[in-house]
Amino acid sequence: MKRVNILEARNNLSKLVAAVGNGHEVVIANRGKPVVRLVAIVDDAPSHTAKEVAQWLAHDPAPRRAPRTAEELDQQISTEREAWD
């Protein structure tokens, strides 16, 4: 594990990212106190082909929403805006 201060990290960010990509961990310290650890992201998300997605959508279609009138939409907008205050 490599430890660097903020200034060094800022000046060498691309090198630190490359090191992390090669399996190393980097700790960034502020005035000697560790505050951030850079680690590689593990991409374990499944990838799907367009065909698989189309088949899934055909099997599990998105729910249909009931159409709303303009008055209903205006009322919802007014209600949301009142909640902002």
In a structure prediction context, what are the per-residue pLDDT tens digits for the chain, which is 85 residues long? 899 999 999 999 999 999 999 999 999 999 999 999 999 988 777 788 999 989 998 998 887 877 888 999 999 999 999 988 7
Of the candidates 40, 7, 8, 47, the one whose C-alpha atom is nearest the C-alpha of residue 22 is 40
Assess if residue 24 is contained within a domain: yes
Assess if residue 43 is contained within a domain: no
Assess if residue 6 is contained within a domain: yes
Assess if residue 19 is contained within a domain: yes
Look at residue 48 in the predicted model and tell me its pLDDT: 86
**Domain count along the chain:** 1
Q: How far is the C-alpha of 24 from the C-alpha of 65, rounded, in Å?
A: 49
Q: What residues make up the domain containing 9? A: 2-31
